[in-house]
Amino acid sequence: MIKYKRILLKLSGEALMGNENHGIKPSVINSYATQIKEISELGVEIGIVIGGGNIFRGLSGLSKGIDRVKGDQMGMLATVINSLALQSTIEGLGGKARLFTATKMEPIGELYTKAKVLQAFSEGYTVIIAGGTGNPFFTTDTASALRGVEIETEALLKGTRVDGVYDVDPEKNPKAKKFENLTFDKAYEQKLKIMDLTAFTMCSENNLPIIVFDMTTEGNLKKVVLGENIGTLVRN
C-alpha cells in the first residue's frame, strides 16, 4: 500500500557530485532517476526541486565580488542545469518527465503554474520544478516547501547523503543521536538545521510533514512512499 500518493522530493545539488569536487556524477543521477521512475510506476505523483550547489551557490559569489542578486540568479540557472540532467536521465530510462521553470525560459522548460503541474500529474509525468522561487534571497529549500504546499503534496521528502536528522553532525561526532520522529517545535527548540527557517516555518504552518532520508541507498525512496520507518519524520 502506498502511504504518500503525491510527494515533493527535494534533492541536494551537492549530492549529485558523489565523491567528486563539482559537477554531476553519472552513477548518482542514474540511481536517483531509477528510484524516481520506480515509484512513478507505482502511481506516485512526484514533484522534484533540485539545488544547484554542485555548480554554483549564490552566497559563495559574495566572497568573489559578485552581487548577491546576480549570484542568486546564477544559482537559479545552476538548478536548471541539474533539472535538465535529471529529466534527460529519467527519459533515457523510459520514464516520463516534464520540466517547469520559475521564470520564462522556453524552450528549455515551461513556465510553472500549479494547473500545468496537476495536468502533468494526471498524464503520468514526473514534474521537475527548476529555478527556485524565481526570486533572489530564497533558497531551494524554501522553493521546495512553497511548491510542495502549492501543489498539495502529502509530504516533503528531503533526499540527502545522511540517513536522517541527528542532534549533532554524525560525520564529525560518532556518538551523534539520530531522531526517528520530531515535532517542528522540538526541532526549533534544539536549533536542528533540517531546512532553512523560511522553508521550515512554511511546512509547519501548512501542516506539511518533512521526511529526511538517505537517497544514496537505492530502494530507499520506494521504502519511504510505502511508509517504512526509515529516516526522520518531522511533523506538527
pLDDT tens for residues 156-209?
Answer: 999 988 899 999 888 788 889 999 999 999 999 998 989 999 999 999 999 999
Q: What percent of the chain has pLDDT over 90?
A: 83
Q: SS3 for 8? A: strand
pLDDT for residue 172 = 86
CATH number, domain 6-235: 3.40.1160.10
Q: SS3 for 142? A: helix
pLDDT for residue 85 = 97
- Residue extents of the structural domains in the chain: 6-235
Task: Name the residue type at position 145.
Answer: A
State mean pLDDT over 73-90: 96
Q: What percent of the chain has pLDDT over 70?
A: 97
pLDDT for residue 61 = 57
When mean pLDDT is compared across 137-141, 148-152, 182-186, 190-194, the lowest value belongs to 190-194
pLDDT for residue 19 = 86
pLDDT for residue 63 = 67
Question: What is the C-alpha to C-alpha distance for residues 207 and 234, in angstroms, rounded to an integer?
Answer: 10
pLDDT, tens digit, 9 for 90 and up, residues 117-129: 999 999 999 999 9
Question: What is the C-alpha to C-alpha distance for residues 206 and 226, in angstroms, rounded to an integer?
Answer: 23
Q: SS3 for 155? A: strand
